[in-house]
């Protein structure tokens, strides 16, 4: 599939990017909105802090959110595996 060229505005600057699919384009646009919202809050909370530092705050917050999501996904996968083993054990017991 051909990549779609898009332009995102983050912190008042325009960035030309490519999205691999319509779904990725939508996610990238939502991410840009989220980053802009975060930067606005950091601008209000830390008005004298340099822009690069506020941008770093946003990057760290997003990375921490990603790590939390990955941890939660692993936990849910482990729970699903445990339930699958319990179900298999139960069904094995019923067959006998």
- Give residue-wise pLDDT tens across range 8-31: 999 999 999 999 999 999 999 999
Alpha-carbon distance of 51 to 43, in angstroms, equals: 8
Alpha-carbon distance of 11 to 29, in angstroms, equals: 13
> How many structural domains does the chain have?
1
pLDDT of 49 above 70: yes
Q: Is the pTM of this model over 0.95?
A: no
- Domain range holding 16? 4-95
Using the CB atoms, write b or e for 47-73: b if 16+ within 10 Å: eeeeeeebbebbeeeeeeeeeeeeeee
pLDDT of 87 above 80: yes
Q: How many CB atoms lie within 10 A of CB 39?
A: 18
């Amino acid at each position: 599939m051909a990549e779609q060229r898009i332009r995102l505005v983050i912190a008042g600057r325009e960035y030309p990017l490519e999205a691999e699919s319509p779904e990725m384009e939508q996610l990238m646009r939502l991410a840009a909105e989220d980053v802009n919202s975060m930067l606005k809050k950091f601008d209000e909370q830390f008005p004298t802090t340099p822009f690069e530092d506020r941008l770093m705050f946003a990057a760290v917050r997003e990375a921490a959110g990603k790590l939390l999501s990955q941890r939660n996904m692993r936990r849910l996968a482990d729970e699903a595996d445990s339930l699958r083993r319990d179900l298999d054990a139960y069904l094995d017991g019923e067959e006998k």
